[in-house]
Amino acid sequence: MASRYFVGVDVGTGSARAGIFDLHGNMVSTARRDIALFQDGADFVEQSSDDIWQAVCASVREAVATAGVDADDIGGLGFDATCSLVVLGPGGVPLAVGNHGDGTRNIIVWMDHRATDQACRINETKHRVLDYVGGAISPEMETPKLLWLKENLPATYDATWQFFDLTDFLTWRATGSLARSVCTVTCKWTYLAHEERWDESYFRQVGLGDLAENNFTRIGTEIVPAGQALGQGLTSEAAAGLGLNAGIAVGAGLIDAHAGGLGSVGARGGAGSATTRMAYVFGTSACTMASSAQPVFIPGVWGPYYSAMIPGLWLSEGGQSAAGAAIDQLVSFHPVAAEARSKAGEQGLSLPSWLAEEAASRAANASDVAYLANELTVVPEFLGNRSPKADPEARAVISGLGMERDLDSLVSLYIAGILGLGYGLRQIISASRAQGAVIDTLALSGGAGRHPLIRQLLADCTGVPVLVSRQSDPVLLGAAMLGATAAGAFENLSGAMEAMSSVGESFEPAGGKIAALHDRRFAAFEALQKSETSTRRIMNGEE
């Protein structure tokens, strides 16, 4: 009997999740496990690959049990994960990535900014590969982190057997295959997918020539499309941990945001198409992904990357390094945050979700909620500006604070923060269109964007309609599509997208007074953003 179900696994910043999907994209069960995050100061953020794998196994086992399906009914498995750097020694032994010497802490998390200086020095080379990362590499990418390791922990660097993107680590742990996904190495490691090669001159020029001398064996010699079946399928050891059958197909993976894009931009129904919909994956961070038939070079927007999400199409990837995390940080400053968090907990809600409900109850409709921000303007760039400014040193700014200390003022601050994220997204869309990108709709996914209020505010902030998938979790769905494609349930990923995803709701941007309000607020946002840059330069003695 043909397999009826496929497993999608998503490893985010704070948890590992598994979902069981049928051939029509219906999720029949899901489960999650928290994963540990070790943070030393503002710039050093680490995780453990052993901890993550254990969380993956536990979540898959629970999801299968909850679904009430037999392991024999599951035909394929797909992974997505954050673009974090995993460091393994000979035999797959974890190696410490910090001065603490704790070998279990062997992952430099995507949001870790320890390599900011290395990224700046790499950008000073102006090497041609930087044209394919928006003109400037980010400290969130892997080659600056590799250079940091080489310069600061040479013993670890020299002892490393394999440097993995987290997604590729997971597929290796599942199958034993050292193949890397074209998505991970193209988007985060400077692999030139359109030329099917690493550029040796880049690695030599930035100080990582030893990787080239070893024919790139430590970062990937076999590069394969997302969804391609790996090795001989699931190994016996991995199958025992996951509670699945050995030999089932495992597809080459995707970065988590790209899985969300895969699960949303090709959905049946609604306006736009895969080449005119921009995916906006709104989670701890936020990523934007726009696909095109021809390469589009956009300063400050990563890419263009060939076949990095949808095979045969070019991908332009922008985003905000802190999105849901920025809102968490912002509201935590308020004097009544603890009281509000307690009230939210009584209702089984997170504080941001509870604030969204409170805001919705205070306005006639979702669009009018923008007025609740009053005079507050927030540039929520707590972790820098990823796109389109490509400025990792940028920081958050709040304007319009008074002496208020009540719940109403907390709601105002929350709404101002959401609007700030919306205006950052508006900047990315504008910068993309200026270079010829066609963007007529936003395909929204991610846990931080589930509330209808958020969806309407994003449409109003950007002036672009927002589409939401019928499926409740497009990121997990995208991962399951990888497993289904690897298992041969569909001829290719495009077929999986068409069969497994469809549009549910759409949110149209408001016009008239609301549009005019957002135009004014956007102008204030950009003025405040410029002021932060100028102030920082003055403080640094640059002006």
Q: Report the pLDDT value the prediction gives residue 268, as an integer from 0 to 100.
A: 82
CATH topology of domain 5-255: Nucleotidyltransferase; domain 5 (3.30.420)
Residue range 432-449: mean pLDDT, rounded: 93
Residues 6+ apart with CB under 8 A from 235: 174, 175, 176, 246
Q: Collapsing DSSP states into helix, strand and coil, what is residue 231?
A: coil
Calpha distance 197→181 (Å, rounded): 13
Calpha distance 69→245 (Å, rounded): 13
Other CB atoms closer than 10 Å to residue 406's CB: what's the count?
11
Calpha distance 64→29 (Å, rounded): 7
**What stretch of H or E contains 242?**
helix 236-242
| Residue ranges with strand state E in 12-115 | 15-22, 27-34, 38-40, 44-47, 74-81, 85-88, 107-108
Burial tier of 361 (Cβ tally within 10 Å: 0-12, 13-18, 19+): exposed
Residue range 518-529: mean pLDDT, rounded: 98
Q: Report the pLDDT value the prediction gives residue 200, as an integer from 0 to 100.
A: 97
Prediction pTM value: 0.89
Q: Report the pLDDT value the prediction gives residue 1, as an integer from 0 to 100.
A: 38
Residue range 326-337: mean pLDDT, rounded: 97
Summarize pLDDT for 288-311 with one digit per residue, the tens.
999 999 999 999 999 999 999 999
Would you say 445 and 469 are in contact if contact means Cβ atoms under 8 Å apart?
A: yes
Sorting pLDDT into bands at 50, 70 and 90, what band is 475?
Answer: very high
Would you say 108 and 114 are in contact if contact means Cβ atoms under 8 Å apart?
A: yes
Task: Please tell me which residue, 1 or 90, carries the higher pLDDT value.
Answer: 90
Q: Report the pLDDT value the prediction gives residue 42, as an integer from 0 to 100.
A: 81
Sorting pLDDT into bands at 50, 70 and 90, what band is 2?
Answer: low
Which token pair is 113?
A: 């900014």
How many residues comprise the chain? 543
Q: Collapsing DSSP states into helix, strand and coil, what is residue 77?
A: strand
Residues 6+ apart with CB under 8 A from 302: 133, 134, 138, 187, 316, 317, 318, 387
Would you say 142 and 162 are in contact if contact means Cβ atoms under 8 Å apart?
A: no
Q: Report the pLDDT value the prediction gives residue 543, as an integer from 0 to 100.
A: 74
Share of the chain above pLDDT 70, in %: 99
Whole-number average pLDDT of the chain: 95
Sorting pLDDT into bands at 50, 70 and 90, what band is 269?
Answer: confident
What residues form DSSP beta bridges with 443?
A: 279, 467
